[in-house]
Amino acid sequence: MYELFCDIGIGGMTCASCVSRVERAIAKVPGVQSVSVNLATESARVTWTEPRLGSGDVPIDASAAAPDLQAQQARLRRAVRDAGYEPLAAEHLEQAPADPWAGFAPVAIGLLFSAPLVLPMVGGALGQHGMLPAMWQFLLATPVQFILGARFYKAGWHAVLAGRGNMDLLVALGTTAGWALSVWLWLSAPSGAMVHLYFEGSAVVITLVLLGKWLEVRAKRQATDAIRALHVLRPARARVIGVDGEVDIPIDELLVGDRVVILPGERFVADGWLLEGQTQVDESMLTGEPLPTSKAVNDAVTGGSINGDGRVVVNVTATGSATVLAHIIRWVEDAQAAKAPIQRLVDQVSAVFVPAVLVLAVVTLGGWLWTGHSVELSLIHAVAVLVIACPCALGLATPAAIMAGTGVAAKFGILIKDAEALEMAHRVDTVAFDKTGTLTVGQPRLRPGDALSDLGLTLAASLQMGSEHPLAHAVVQAAKARGLRISTPTDVRAVPGYGIEGTVDGRDLLLGSLRWMDVLKVPEASNVSGDLWRVQAAQLQAQGATVSVLVERTAQGLVALAVLAFGDEPKPGVQVALAQLRARGLRLAMISGDNAGAAHAMAARLGLHPDEVHANVMPGDKAALVRQLQRNGDGPKHVVAFVGDGINDAPALAAADVGLAMANVSAHGQGGGTDVAMKAAGITLMRGDVALVACALDISARTVAKIRQNLFWAFAFNAAGIPLAAMGYLSPVVAGAAMALSSVSVMVNALLLKRWKP
């Protein structure tokens, strides 16, 4: 049974109550496992099971599944429509920004019709008394009430049918009460009598709410700039070299293996590697790195990056949804569509908020009537309660901040894949690092030494000819540099955590760590260049080298043939980055599979303390060590972030409270161990720069701070505004203005995150 997912755009949602209503409607569709509706992105992420596809555990995109699955998506869209909302294409926010004044026409008409109703009130405050005749007030207010305000009646009616309340219902009830009261006062007044009417209140409230929603939409467009900017990176056409020369084709027709010409200044159309030419590539929109990267033949390039001043030919290795750019877009979309755990509180409040407000409005009406006030005054105060209590700001508080935070982080090469990682990262008190490739360059070199003969190096290089391990690559490169002849090995078998074994030119060989030599009990009497091999290995370890031993299995037993010593270098700037993390009060740890001597020697170069080093850790034991770092005796457990870049780091990345995967796409493209690590981690750093770890923790802290600020002001606004309206200190007009202002202020506060820089 497969799990599938799809995204559905939803139009017409206005508040947190709308969100919960849509979620309940979709959840009732048979087969739906989970649904998450986001008010800020106006979309829903729906996951459901599809038994007809066979068996599997990994959710797959329904858009890539069989055509018959369109029926389920149709049922989901029908559920949205039946709930009173408009199902839209999921890409409705990916489109280019519309005219800044798009959608302002209803607001302009409302202002035009409301101005003559409000101006006499302003004139009265200035001593210029005058009021429009009741008929004119009626003619101006009624179109605003029932034409411009039709959307509130429609959505409010659907809410009533569903047995739930929402913002539209509150606005419809409040403004209708004010309009109806004015009509009743006008028609029941004695002929020729001057009576105060409240048409301006209803018309202005509807106009202000429309103005607030229009401002929200403009702010949402800014919040989704990150997604649109990523989509713009995808070229529409590709210049492919075919049998008849260069042919211009749509990007959707591009295939893996095609040879594509990229001219100076053009964007690379897909992931691949250079077949011809050399150039400088701007990858800033993918990695956040402002400086261009040099590329030559056989170097990887990433779709969406910008070619510099050279004409190059690229062999395509990934297209469509398999490219790095497509993965980045999906991760950013997932993060912006997800709900942070703190949102659960908002969902619980919104479920009872609107019914509670309706009760408070009735209590307000009854209270003022009971104290001897007129029906007219009592109704006006009840209307003010209904208008000011609209929970728009409450529904936007969390998703608006998440959209802005994840968007600006992606701009600088920090991909936050889910809202839970974003919310958890600011609580991290311990950061553990994998050593090789994370803190170090990850390109170890075989150290020169007289002890390693040409024969030993030839056998070691031949045995590791097909291995992708960094140490194996170093051995092969050293053998080629000496001009040695490398043979093809047979019966090669990797021994996880230890090394490799196989046959070279009829010799049964093993090459691996000292830990493996201890397990195999390789005799210490075996000589290497006249010295005991263990003595030589110990000397090299004391110098900070990573040591491997080449052993031959003979009829007399195991015989050590050669000791290989490897050295690596710290990444540039890593000492400063670690110092910055320590300055934040964080515990640091380095986890390495190297021997203690090599690990401590590198730690000293990195500025780490001896007690922060964990050496001789098997790949399968990294996750257990992470869980050990999380333990804190009887106190609350430590919140641990683990930073790694390889396939053997995936379990530790998943076990940590926050996993941060390093993926240097400019050097490696996508795939292999880095790709596995990226899938296991909640946050991906698109450059191999340790400084981005502190940046990721910082944007998390700032985003969570914005969420808390927004929620505080949303709750405080209603906590203060409702009592003031109930006590008669706020008119419906002032209440409407305050309600619109609260929603806009939440969006503006969230958008301040766009100014963040690492």
What are the catalytic residues? 434
Burial class (CB in 10 A: 0-12, 13-18, 19+), 692: buried
Q: Which of 667, 305, 245, 302 is nearest to 259 (CA)?
A: 245
Residue 126: which residues within 8 A CB-CB, separation 6 or more?
A: none
Q: Which residues pair with 591 in a beta bridge?
A: 434, 614
- For residues 176 and 195, give the distance between their C-alpha atoms in angstroms, rounded to a whole number: 19
Residue 672: which residues within 8 A CB-CB, separation 6 or more?
A: 468, 647
Residue type, 418: D
Q: Tell me the torsion sign for CA atoms 735, 738, 742, 744.
A: positive
Helix (H, G, I), strand (E, B) or coil at 589: strand
- Read off the tokens for 234: 């995808």
Buried b (16+ CB within 10 A) or exposed e, 45-80: bbbbebeebeeeeeeeebeebeeebeebbeebbebb
- For residues 69 and 471, give the distance between their C-alpha atoms in angstroms, rounded to a whole number: 48
Buried b (16+ CB within 10 A) or exposed e, 716-742: ebbeebbebbbeeebbbbbbbbbbbbb
User: Are residues 499 and 550 in contact, defined by beta-carbon separation less than 8 angstroms?
Assistant: no
* Owner of token pair 């569903």: 162
Please state, as a whole number, how many other Cβ atoms lie within 10 Å of the Cβ of residue 98. Answer: 11
In three state form, how does the secondary structure of 335-370 look?
HHHCCCCCHHHHHHHHHHHHHHHHHHHHHHHHHHHH
Helical segments of 144-262, H only: 150-161, 167-188, 199-223, 225-232
- Read off the tokens for 130: 């005058």
Q: Could you tell me whether strands 430-434 and 587-591 are parallel, antiparallel, or unpaired per DSSP bridges? A: parallel
Q: Which residues pair with 38 in a beta bridge?
A: 43
